[in-house]
Amino acid sequence: MMNMAVQTTVLKAGVHDRLIQDIDHIASMSRVPASMIRTSSVSILTPSAISYLTAFRQLRSQGSANAYLTGKHKYSPEKVMMGMAAALIRNFIDARVCPLQNLLDEGEGLGPSVLLIPNFQNTFVGKPLASHQLQRLYSILLDRMVQEKVTVVYIENMAALEDQYGSAIAEFITENYRQLKE
């Protein structure tokens, strides 16, 4: 049975030794299941997400790697973002999935090279965040951009983004982030 698990992993001895040895800690820190880090993400990612990940290092060096996913996908936003983070981790990039509330409460989004927020905007009636939270969110996004750290967000409905978050954040996203289409 152990032999079968080794055959399905995309982690290679000699290349990923440190990752293999510390997989549980890395999975916990990144909020990506170890099983997803061990296996290919191709089956859960859209062609545009795969193209984005393939070009990631070049996009990052050009300062244009911030991105947003929008609309409905075959898989949930958190699963897609975990798959993206797993692919980045396998390529030795510090990527972490972080729910919006954790980012606002704990400020944990300032550290990783790539921060993926699967619930950045979900459509519902009313304002999701208080004005001080919106100011903090804008500040975090701006700080990450200035520090050349990549942020990837999920936006369920672009039309609702401005209604819920205001024009400053909506314009910041549309002007500084690339859309990953389905």
Phi, psi (deg, nearest 5) at residue 150? -90, 140
Cα 152 from Cα 154, distance rounded (Å): 7
Relative to beta strand 114-121, strand 150-155 is parallel
**Domains (range + CATH), the chain:** 46-180 (3.40.50.300)
pLDDT digits (tens, 9 = 90+) for 70-85: 988 789 999 999 999 9
* Beta carbons of 91 and 19 less than 8 angstroms apart: no
What's this model's pTM, rounded to 2 decimal places?
Answer: 0.89
Give the pair of three-digit tokens for residue 27.
Answer: 């999975």
Q: With bands split at pLDDT 50, 70 and 90, how would you rate the model's confidence at 175?
A: very high
**Based on the number of CB atoms within 10 Å of its own CB, is 157 exposed (0-12), middle (13-18) or buried (19 or more)?**
middle
**Cα distance from N-terminal residue to C-terminal residue, the chain:** 36
Beta carbons of 155 and 67 less than 8 angstroms apart: no
CA distance 182 to 179: 10
Q: What DSSP assignment string belongs to 138-163?
A: HHHHHHHHHTT-EEEEEES-HHHHHH
Mean pLDDT of all residues belonging to the chain: 88
What tens digit of pLDDT does each residue of 94-127 get?
A: 999 999 988 988 776 568 999 999 999 887 655 5
Cβ-based burial of 174 (10 A; exposed 0-12, middle 13-18, buried ≥19): middle
